[in-house]
Amino acid sequence: MKIAFIGGGNMGEAMLSAILDKKLSKPQAISVSDIDKSRCQYLEQKYGVAVMSDNLLAAASGEVVILAIKPPQLAEVMAELKGALKPAQLVLSIVAGAKMASLQRGLNHSGIVRAMPNTPARIGEGMTVWTASDAVGEQQKYWAGSILGAMGREIYVADEQYLDMATAVSGSGPAYLFLFLEALTEAAEAIGLPGAVARELALQTTLGSVHLVQKTGEEPAELRRMVTSPGGTTAAALRELGEGGFNELIKRAVNAAYGKARSLGGD
């Protein structure tokens, strides 16, 4: 398929790399536009794709036009592209908070897919939730699912409201886990473990625990109970987390991210 990227930032590059790695397209069938000339040069040299600073020129060549820009850039980019897209072109937006109705109005175009990927997509371990407007055909849905699935796992939802919710969970979620890893590593160092050992213990424990949930299919709550002996060390630690309001803090964090995602879309 012919693909045009509007924006060549980190997530755009993750998508580009995954598309080429999975052979969904060839470098000569991909164009990328970005206002950063050094970024364009880097993408051209690394991936062999056509690069340019003209969004209209880039978009004209794509069967799929991927909007991989920051939210503050969206209004300007939509104004450039408005009315210039062909009815048969699919627009795939990964712009956080940008509602399909706003994209359709801003672009004067009906075929929109809205997606929320996350940063592990950079290594093919991403989680993307996406939806499509009524004007998107089955072939185009297949293209979108293939592109998003190339970065990891993808889930299609029929109701757009779940996109802002996904933004708060899987979109922002990696940062929550990175913060937990930071805190666990710091706590390990505080009781006397060397830094390198503390980091490895925190990282592998987190990784192994997630894989245990995936591979056994058991609920996290059940696995937590299994590892928690009454009166033991784990019970003592969990009591402190409970008294500190750990679960409530996570709920508040997710609610804050959800509220921000909705506000970005004008809700």
Are both 3-164 and 173-264 of the same fold? no
Structure tokens given for 186: 């710091």
Q: What is the pTM of this model?
A: 0.88
Between strands 126-132 and 112-116, the pairing is antiparallel
Cβ atoms of 11 and 94 within 8 Å: the answer is yes
Q: Which fold has domain 173-264?
A: ProC C-terminal domain-like fold (1.10.3730)
Q: Which residues have CB under 8 Å from 160's CB, separation 6+?
A: 99, 100, 114, 131
The domains of the chain are located at 3-164, 173-264
The angle, 0 to 180 degrees and rounded to 10, between the axes of the packed helices 195-216 and 173-190 is 130
DSSP result, the chain: --EEEE--SHHHHHHHHHHHHTTSS-GGGEEEE-S-HHHHHHHHHHH--EEES-HHHHHHT-SEEEE---GGGHHHHHHHHTTTS-TTPEEEE--TT--HHHHHHHHT---EEEEE--GGGGGT-EEEEEEE-TT--HHHHHHHHHHHHTTEEEEE-S-THHHHHHIIIIITHHHHHHHHHHHHHHHHHHTT--HHHHHHHHHHHHHHHHHHHHHH---HHHHHHHH--TTSHHHHHHHHHHHTTHHHHHHHHHHHHHHHHHHHTT-
Superfamily of domain 3-164, CATH level 4: NAD(P)-binding Rossmann-like Domain (3.40.50.720)
Q: Which residues have CB under 8 Å from 187's CB, separation 6+?
A: none
Per-residue model confidence as pLDDT tens for the chain (267 residues): 899 999 888 889 999 999 999 999 999 999 999 888 899 899 999 999 999 989 999 999 899 999 999 888 999 999 999 999 999 999 999 998 899 999 999 999 999 999 999 999 989 999 999 999 999 999 999 999 999 999 999 999 999 999 999 999 999 999 999 999 999 999 999 999 999 999 999 999 999 999 999 999 999 999 999 999 999 999 999 999 999 999 999 999 999 999 998 887 665
